[in-house]
Amino acid sequence: MSELERRILVVDDEPPIRKLLARILERAGFEVVVASDGLEALETVKSDASLRLVVSDLRMPNCSGLDFVKRAINEYKRDFEFILLTGDGDKTDAVTALRLGVREFLDKPIERADLERAALDAQARLQERDREVERVRKLELENISQSKTLDDISRKLGGAEQEMIDRLSLISQYRDIETAEHCVRVGLYSQLLAEMAGLDQNVQRTIRLAGILHDIGKVGVPDEVLLKNGKLTDDEFKVMQRHTEIGFAMLNSSDNPVLGQAAIIARYHHEHWEGSGYCVGLSGADIPMIARIVSLADVYDALRSARRYKPAYGHSEAVNIITKGDERTSPEMFDPKLLGLFADNHLRFESIYNSMPDQLV
């Protein structure tokens, strides 16, 4: 194991047990970091991005092991492995933890061999998932770089059209730099949704390229609005809404079919199925299908990404917000068929997100 892969967080409110657990794991070759309860553990995880492997007691004051697991999963964009220490009265919490994805439970008092085995098995699972994420990332990047639209003009242009799309998307990214790979991920989610919706391969490839440009109109939004920290006023939000029409005007004059589809997406990707969106106020099937697809993809990635006005949400919380709603989002905003496809296949969206994590530009 590398130095980072040996790091493990031990969380327990009883100093003797905490010391014993640390000693066992250090003898097994791990570098141990300790915390006395869930709140301290959350701060430790927040400040140390290398900590993904955790041994935690379930019963602790201030913040229980279960509350710690829930918050860590929801608040930090990280692939964790948790080993939970349980007693006779913890079975209900253990069931809840299982639903959160926890794989390892050890009964107290802890046997040294059991703890060593659990830690090594959990570490092996992390390493295997890391290898899979890297494999998927390489495949997706190859898919992007090798993609060709199927119309005659694109075949003649070869890689020139892809480069043009990439260059244009960079304009948008450099004007809103919080999530540099947001535009590319939205294109990939959109291609996936188009595939699941049964659209033909031409549309699937086109929507991936065109979806990258969905926010290109932001280049026309003043910095004091686009880059504002905090909530926009009503007047500022009206200015922000103009990015859909600006994007449409930028792209609609081209004879290139991909840019023509991108213009439609730019204009209508903030329309809502129930009619509450902008700028035109379309509803239902009057909203172009490609815009309905990009709308859902855009919301998922926006929830997963940190913004100046909000933290990044974990995958489970993002899915819950889209499918059940919160104060800003409701399921009625989305095409019901597409929403159902997303709900049934949301792990494929998570895979794309994990394969292309945000990087500062």
Q: Give catalytic residue positions.
A: 218
Residue 11 CA to residue 9 CA, distance in Å, equals 6
Query: What residue type is 57 in one-letter code?
Result: D
CA-CA-CA-CA torsion sign (246, 248, 251, 252) = negative
Q: What is the DSSP string of 152-201?
A: HHHHHHTTHHHHHHHHHHHHHHHHSTT-TTHHHHHHHHHHHHHHHTT--H
Give dist(CA 112, CA 81) in Å, integer.
19
Quick check: helix, strand or coil at residue 31? strand
H/E stretch holding 270: none
Provide the total of helices (H) and of strands (E) in the chain, helices listed first: 17, 5
How far is the CA of 84 from the CAs of 2, 94, 121, 208, 280, in angstroms?
A: 24, 8, 14, 41, 52
